[in-house]
């Protein structure tokens, strides 16, 4: 009996090549194919193509394999030449769709969101994915305003190989803003270097050692003082009339039009009115809080909750003149347990893992007439929507945005309301 026939023995299939027909797109930047009864998640391909794949992970005893499409035998409509030399098989894991035209990228992302809602929440819905409002990067390049580069053993900066810790050194990144601090042309005695450029033209560059501390280094003519490498340790961001202070390594949307796009969607779905009581959860530096405070006015209230201490500190600075806003730093679930007052509206923008059942139930316990959920992961959103259904809230509306061109990431804004 061979290892292939013995279910108790696994023989590695890594490196094996075979021709396959490619099926539907799946969440995660790959498409689904089948080989000898196994599911194969294949990168660098499109639905409907015939490709030669090379297995990158898995063996005969595994339920599924991972693979790269190393040769396109029959191409599908929507394929284009990649704009990055290291985005292909065995290359950088930062971009999933360099080989896909932008319109096709958005169609595929819509199919992913629809599939996740159907599979995890039992909701059948066609989803149209839009680009950012007023997008000035119609080719999908040069948009990323924040990047954390990793350093290899020789101090060269780059990004990691897909599903690997190995660093691929870069001389340039085609999706990175050209206004970012120039750090790729030098060697760095650090484990990673974070760079940012803001909507106001502020720049930030910081190098971190293995333990996450800022080392004392001097590179590319940037002066290090043990806390920073270049420029201030924070930047200014502006959305409409509001200016926000954001710690250089703190969270802010990386596409220059993303913040405004999401603010517009949240405000439309929230329909917040003067005098209403609002909770803004996972509020970061106060982006949505500032606009919700505008909408509810001085007669309303906004409870702004953020778990990250530095994010809350920035929020307090950004919102210090809003008497109707209370900024609370703490675990969202714990804060909601302690502050279980009724709310007219809840806005939440949880991390990639989602809000999860405890927070969803706590939100429903506040009795809001509207819940606006901003999600960066469609699977987490679908799971939480299913939990909301269990506590009496239904999905009323959904908008989806491709705010990270060339990648599999998609941002969704969902409106939920009590059933009936």
| Three-class secondary structure assignment of the chain | CCCCCCCCCCCECCCCEEEEEEEEEECCCEEEEEECCEEEEEECCCCCCEEEEEEEECECCCCEEEEEEEEEEECCCCECCCCCCCCCCCCECCCCCCCECHHHHHHHHHHHHHHHHHHHHCCCCCCCEECCCCCCCCCCCCCECEEEEEECCCCCEEEEECCCCCEEECCCCCCECCCCCCCCCCCCCCCEEEEEECCCCCEEEEEECCCCCCCCCCECCECCCCCCCECCCEEEEEECCEEEEEECCCCCCCCCCHHHHHHHHHHHHHCCCCCCEEEEECCCCCHHHHHHHHHHCCCCEEEEEECCHHHHHHHHHHCCCCCCEEEEECCHHHHHHHCCCCCCEEEECCCCCCCHHHHHHHHHHCCCCEEEEEECCHHHHHHHHHHHHHCCEEEEEEEEECCCCCCCCCEEEEEEEECC
Q: Residue 216: pLDDT above 80? A: no
pLDDT tens track for 265-279: 999 999 999 999 999
Q: Tell me, what's the pLDDT at 120? A: 98
Mean predicted confidence (pLDDT) in 19-39: 97
Distance between CA atoms of residues 210 and 11, nearest Å? 35
Q: Residue 133: pLDDT above 90? A: no
Computed over every residue of the chain, the mean pLDDT equals: 92
- Confidence (pTM): 0.93
Q: Residue 389: pLDDT above 80? A: yes
Q: Tell me, what's the pLDDT at 334? A: 97
pLDDT tens track for 51-84: 999 999 999 999 999 999 999 999 999 999 999 9
Name the band, by pLDDT with cuts 50, 70 and 90, for residue 189: confident
Nearest alpha carbon to residue 281 among 327, 321, 228: 327
Sign of the Cα pseudo-torsion (315, 330, 373, 345, in order):
negative
Q: Is 376 a catalytic residue?
A: yes
Mean predicted confidence (pLDDT) in 321-348: 97
Cβ neighbours around 212 below 10 Å, total: 9
pLDDT tens track for 277-297: 999 999 999 999 999 999 999
Stronger pLDDT, 194 or 58, i.e. the higher one:
58
All domains in the chain, ordered by first residue: 17-76 (2.40.50.140), 144-253 (2.40.50.1070), 254-418 (3.40.50.150)
Q: Tell me, what's the pLDDT at 2? A: 39
Mean predicted confidence (pLDDT) in 382-389: 98
Q: What percent of the chain has pLDDT over 90?
A: 85
> Which residue among 92, 95, 173, 376 is the active-site one?
376
Mean predicted confidence (pLDDT) in 181-200: 90
Q: Tell me, what's the pLDDT at 208? A: 81
Annotated binding site for S-adenosyl-L-methionine: 253, 282, 306, 349
Nearest alpha carbon to residue 200 among 248, 237, 252: 237
Q: Tell me, what's the pLDDT at 232? A: 63
Name 287's Cβ contacts closer than 8 Å, sequence gap at least 6: 239, 244, 259, 262, 263
Q: Residue 218: pLDDT above 60? A: no
Q: Residue 10: pLDDT above 90? A: no
Q: Residue 224: pLDDT above 50? A: no
Q: Tell me, what's the pLDDT at 188? A: 87
Q: Tell me, what's the pLDDT at 324? A: 98
């Amino acid at each position: 009996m061979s290892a292939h026939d013995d279910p108790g023995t696994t023989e590695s299939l890594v490196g094996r090549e075979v021709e396959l027909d490619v099926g539907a797109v799946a969440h995660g930047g790959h498409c689904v194919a089948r080989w000898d009864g196994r599911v194969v998640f294949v990168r660098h391909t499109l639905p409907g193509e015939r490709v030669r794949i090379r297995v990158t992970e898995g063996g005969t005893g595994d339920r599924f394999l991972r693979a790269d499409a190393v040769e396109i035998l029959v191409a599908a409509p929507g394929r284009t030449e990649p704009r990055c030399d290291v985005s292909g098989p065995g290359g950088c894991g930062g971009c999933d769709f360099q080989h896909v035209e932008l319109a096709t990228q958005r169609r595929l992302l819509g199919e992913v969101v629809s599939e996740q809602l159907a599979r995890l929440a039992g909701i059948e819905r066609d989803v149209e994915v839009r680009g950012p409002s007023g997008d000035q990067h119609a080719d999908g390049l040069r948009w990323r305003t924040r990047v954390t580069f990793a350093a290899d053993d020789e101090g060269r900066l780059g990004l990691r190989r897909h599903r690997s810790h190995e660093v691929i050194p870069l001389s340039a990144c085609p999706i990175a803003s050209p206004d970012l601090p120039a750090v790729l042309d030098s060697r760095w005695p650090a484990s990673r270097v974070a760079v940012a450029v803001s909507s106001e033209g502020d720049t930030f560059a910081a190098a971190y050692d293995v333990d996450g501390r800022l080392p004392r280094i001097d590179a590319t003519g940037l002066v290090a003082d043990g806390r920073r490498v270049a420029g201030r340790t924070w930047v200014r961001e502006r959305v409409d009339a509001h200016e926000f202070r954001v710690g250089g390594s703190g969270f802010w949307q990386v596409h220059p039009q993303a913040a405004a796009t999401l603010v517009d969607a949240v405000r439309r779905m929230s329909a917040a009115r003067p005098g209403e009581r609002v909770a803004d959860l996972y509020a970061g530096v106060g982006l949505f809080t500032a606009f919700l405070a505008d909408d509810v006015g001085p007669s309303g209230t906004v409870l702004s909750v953020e778990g990250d201490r530095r994010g809350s500190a920035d929020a307090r600075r950004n919102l210090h003149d809003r008497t109707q806003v209370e900024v609370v730093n703490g675990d969202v679930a714990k804060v909601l347990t302690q502050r279980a007052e009724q709310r007219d509206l809840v806005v939440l923008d949880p991390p990639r893992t989602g809000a999860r059942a405890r927070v969803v139930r706590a939100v429903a316990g506040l009795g809001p007439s509207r819940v606006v959920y901003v999600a960066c992961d469609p699977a987490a959103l679908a799971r939480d929507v299913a939990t909301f259904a269990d506590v009496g809230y239904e999905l009323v509306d959904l908008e989806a945005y491709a705010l990270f061109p060339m990648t599999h990431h998609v941002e969704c804004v969902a409106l939920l309301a009590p059933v009936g």
